[in-house]
Amino acid sequence: MKNFISLFFIVFAGIAISWFGLLVVGANSLSPSEEFETTMVVAGDDVIITGHEGLAARGEQVYRALACAACHTQQVRRPGYGGDFERAWGSRQSVARDYMLQDTVVLGTKRLGPDLTNVGARHDAEWFFKHLYNPGSLSEVSNVPSYSFLFTEREMSDGNSSNSLKLEGNDIPEEGFEVVPTDDAVALVAYLQSLNLDYDLPESKRIK
């Protein structure tokens, strides 16, 4: 390692080998292909893997813009490794195929909030809206900030709008006013509702 050429070559080789052997090989083997399909039948059920579409796609961008991945993960570990299965976060390990067609994969690296891979199956839209507006009103959450800037409080015109929030206690707005979600909030909730792991794959089957 006495000269420029040999040093350059050593470093170049090291990075190139790891880049190719891990990333390029990985990208090739985990791309959709004829024998790594996105639609299949597993145990008699049709399974179609998709990316997020429509309103949920917009919600994916809101999720990214609000940096939710700073505290939430979207990966379920196998039963018996950590408590993911026991906490009912998912009945099977999430695998590569689950994410294959998503635009932005936000696996997340920290859990200051629960895992969200299967959250669409755990809560409905009303719960999500309440959670975003005032998480403290829901007993099971604790450390998440409120995202009230995703909502507007406005004067009622002709009674309650169809999507105004049903609030309780201190949250109820004054007489004649209602709280409605903005477009971003609606998209985000649509995205969260689309997060679902309740289907089997050949390489990962649910434990009932």
Partner 1 sequence: MESSLTQSGTSAIDSSAKAPVLVYLFSALKWLFFASIFGYLASWKTHNPEFLNGWSFLTVGRVQAVYTTAFVYGFGCNIAFGMGLWLISRLSGESLRYTIVLIIAAFVWNIALTVGLVGIFMGHLNAFEFLELPSYVKLPLLLASLVVSVWGLLTFKNRKNADVFASEWYLLAAFLVFPWIQVVTQVMLFTKPAPGVVQALVASWVASNLVWLWFGSIAVAGLYYLIPKLLGKQILGYGLAKIGFIVLIFAGSWMGAAKLVGGPLPAWMITSGIAASLLMIIFFSITGINLFGTVWKHRSRICDNGILLFVGFASLALILSGIGVLLVSLRGFAEVTQFTIFLDAHRFLILYGVFSMTMFALIYYSFPKLLGREWAMDFMISTHFWIAFIGILLVVVPLAIGGWQQGAAMSDASVPFADIVRHASYWMVSRSMAWIFLTIGHLCLILNVLATLRPECEAIVEELTRTEDTSAGGVES
Partner 2 sequence: MSEDQSISKPSESVEDAELVSLNDQKSSGAPQTIGYVAIVISIVLGGLYLVRYSGGFDRDTYLESNSIIEEMAALGGGSGADGDVVEVAFDPIKEGQKIYQTNCMACHQVTGQGLPGAFPPLAESEWVSKDPALLARIVLGGLQGPITVKGNEYNSIMAPLAAVLSDEQVAYVLSYIRQEWGNTAGPVEPTVVAEARADMGAKATMWTVEELKPWITE
Residues 72-111 touching partner 1, rule: CB under 8 A, are 73, 75, 77-78, 81-83, 86-87, 93-111
Instruction: Identify what 48 binds: partner 2, partner 1, none; CB under 5 to 8 Å per kind.
Output: none
Smallest CA-to-CA distance from 121 within 88, 147, 98 is with 88
Q: Which is nearer to partner 1, 60 or 178 (CB)?
A: 60
Which residue(s) pair with 201 in the sheet? 204
Neighbours of 206 (CB within 10 A): 16
| Minimum gap (Å) between residue 143 Cβ and partner 1 | 4
| Minimum gap (Å) between residue 162 Cβ and partner 1 | 25
**Footprint of partner 1 on 110-139 (CB under 8 A):** 110-114
Q: Tokens in use for 104? A: 């932005």
Using the 8-state DSSP alphabet, how is residue 39 labeled?
A: E
Helix (H) or strand (E) holding 93: none
The Cα 113–Cα 142 span in angstroms is: 9
**Footprint of partner 1 on 29-68 (CB under 8 A):** 29-32, 64-68
SS3 18: helix
The Cα 101–Cα 23 span in angstroms is: 18
Q: Does 170 bind partner 1 (CB under 8 A)?
A: no
Instruction: Identify what 2 binds: partner 1, partner 2, none; CB under 5 to 8 Å per kind.
Output: partner 1
Q: Which is nearer to partner 2, 50 or 163 (CB)?
A: 50
Instruction: Identify what 54 binds: partner 1, partner 2, none; CB under 5 to 8 Å per kind.
Output: none
| Minimum gap (Å) between residue 174 Cβ and partner 1 | 19
| Minimum gap (Å) between residue 95 Cβ and partner 2 | 6
Q: Which is nearer to partner 2, 5 or 41 (CB)?
A: 41
Residue with tokens 């690296």: 109
- List the end-to-end C-alpha distance of the chain, in Å, as a whole number: 59
